[in-house]
Copies of this chain bind each other. A is one copy, B any other.
Amino acid sequence: MFGDKSRWKVRVRVWIYRDGEKVLGPGRAELLGHIEREGSISAAAKRMAMSYRRAWTLVREMNDRAGEPLVELATGGAGGGGAHLTPRGKEALAQYQRLLTRAARAAQAARHNTRK
């Protein structure tokens, strides 16, 4: 019954847990994307209208919970240094986006696979 695409929309969200703890979700993935583009946690936080403190907490949680760091901080230098995704962080973000795309595509396809 959700087949009419002009009226019905399907929204899909995905979360990734490791050992029962949330590692990635829509907000964290968005934050990683901004860190990758901006090269700093504070600039990324600003893009999301999020406090630096909150962004930093999320980064620390992701790094702790993923088993190895997803974000690496560049220490020193003027401005206190920036931040970038580790190879593992890039992989995690790409994989998250792939899961989300596949899930959303499957949900869209299932709309048309109805008995009515």
Binding site for B on A (CB under 8 A): 1-2, 7-20, 88, 91-92, 95, 98-100, 102-107, 109-111, 113-114, 116
Cα–Cα distance between A109 and B99 once the two chains are bound (Å):
8
Chain B contacts for A18, CB-based, 8 A = 7-9
Majority SS at the chain A contact face: mixed
B residues less than 8 Å from A15 (CB atoms): 10-13
Number of this chain's copies in the assembly equals 2
| A98 to B109 CA separation, bound complex (whole angstroms) | 11
Min C-beta distance of A112 to chain B, whole Å: 11
Smallest CB-CB A-B distances: 9 pairs:
A106-B106, A102-B110, A103-B103, A103-B107, A9-B17, A11-B15, A102-B106, A99-B107, A99-B110
B103 touching A12 by the CB < 8 A rule? Answer: yes
**Known interface pairs A11-B17, A13-B12, A17-B11; A1-B91 also in contact (CB < 8 Å):** yes
Smallest Cβ distance from A81 to chain B, in angstroms?
Answer: 26
- Knowing A98-B110, A102-B110, A110-B98, the reply to whether A17 touches B12 (Cβ < 8 A) is no
